[in-house]
Structure 1
């Protein structure tokens, strides 16, 4: 069975025009993710899903496969990632491939490296999970029990009652998806119309590696960290 790395890179991003081709540390965001997929050594195919011919040509030059172009109904702002993954699965299955799982690697995570991909896949298989999602630890100040709301100029606990646990050591350890930088889903789960399924394992990444670029400011920050050698 085939393990497919899928890199989604549509052409019509709004917040950062042509975001997937935007330069970061002298290389495009697409380039960084292509390298992570191709150098991981654990995926059988590295496929680019795009609606854009320029992005498709760039992807091919980086060593990615572009066996299809994404239809327009999956290229808009409202397109779901589930739909994009299902489309890839359907296209490859139609071509005779038997897919174990799809490893989604979004170009907006330029600090996700090949070793993150390898470790994620190892954990996914070790746990025989239906899906794996990369996560980052939630800072203790953002744990829900510490949230407050303002009314008439005064603050009160968001969930009512008292202030609750206040020290980092007392608070529950929580995680949040970090983009996600890595999402692995079995083909059977996608066929059922689901993105995660019932058995989900998390792969924890540090806060810096979890940077997910949505804004020009985040792109400038990532570019600075790469150019100064703070991130390699």
Structure 2
């Protein structure tokens, strides 16, 4: 399986088949509760959404890079960066409870006509500032191997077999028989990094999930992604970005 661990820093050569039509969709609501205006908050001096837009455009994979938003300011920034904003998202897909996949399907349905069939959709989160073009290309190659979707994942740093939960005020082990076992003998479990996802449109529409159907993993290191929910997460993301730029 491909991974993002050791991808070359120079642009990859990718044969762009005339039979393959790909679009990138970057969901970016205006409302955010924990970090206000998170999707356009300055990240190393630029609105954070400009980083995934630039990565998608640099990949030279997509027939269109589309930002799905309900916010005029986000739309203006996205267009200035070279993305398309063909419509403003409806209230039904802009609240705090509707899964992001519904907004992606709404955008896909708006873009797709009888004359513009889409073969693959890449959903990139607006705060995925650490994404790069080579990762997008390598993960797309997995999709062409016959799966329905790909997801960026990273291993848990600690064996989840030894996880604890609290039952009526008392700690209980998830798997008591694994408490004293060797960690190297335990299965490795992975978590979704919230970076980007490739999907087949049919599976995406049928299941209304970004990881619809048979999903292949695209592996990332801990320093290659950062989920951003708090200001502390934001600071950590900026540190990781700076470190990755230094490595380049």
TM-score, normalised to structure 2, is 0.84
Question: Which consecutive unaligned segments of at least 5 residues does structure 2 have?
Answer: 1-19
CA contact (8 A) 1:145 1:165 kept: no
What's the secondary structure of 2:25's corresponding residue? strand
Task: Supply the distance in 2 between the matched residues of 1:84 and 1:194 (Cα, whole angstroms).
Answer: 10
Aligned to 1:118: 137
Superposed CA offset, 1:197-219 (max 9, x none): 33110100111112111111111
Task: Supply the distance in 1 between the matched residues of 2:186 and 2:154 (Cα, whole angstroms).
Answer: 16
Tell whether 2:43 aligns with 1:30: no
CA contact (8 A) 1:148 1:157 kept: yes
Pairs within 5 Å for 1:1-232: 1-94=20-113, 96-125=115-144, 127-139=145-157, 141=158, 143-149=159-165, 155-161=171-177, 163-167=179-183, 169-179=184-194, 181-195=195-209, 196-226=211-241, 229-232=242-245
C-alpha displacement of 1:69: 1.1
Change in 2 beyond 3 A, CA 1:151/1:96: closer
Across the aligned residues of Structure 1 and Structure 2, the Cα RMSD in angstroms comes to: 2.0
Superposed CA offset, 1:16-66 (max 9, x none): 111010111112110111111110111221011000011001000000011
TM-score, normalised to structure 1, is 0.89
CA contact (8 A) 2:225 2:237 kept: no
Task: Supply the distance in 1 between the matched residues of 2:103 and 2:115 (Cα, whole angstroms).
Answer: 19
What's the secondary structure of 1:15's corresponding residue? coil
Superposed CA offset, 1:82-103 (max 9, x none): 2111101110124842111210
Aligned residues: 225
Task: Supply the distance in 1 between the matched residues of 2:30 and 2:168 (Cα, whole angstroms).
Answer: 46
CA contact (8 A) 1:108 1:214 kept: no
What's the secondary structure of 1:192's corresponding residue? helix
Change in 2 beyond 3 A, CA 1:166/1:48: same
What's the secondary structure of 1:230's corresponding residue? helix
Change in 2 beyond 3 A, CA 1:31/1:219: same
C-alpha displacement of 1:164: 4.7
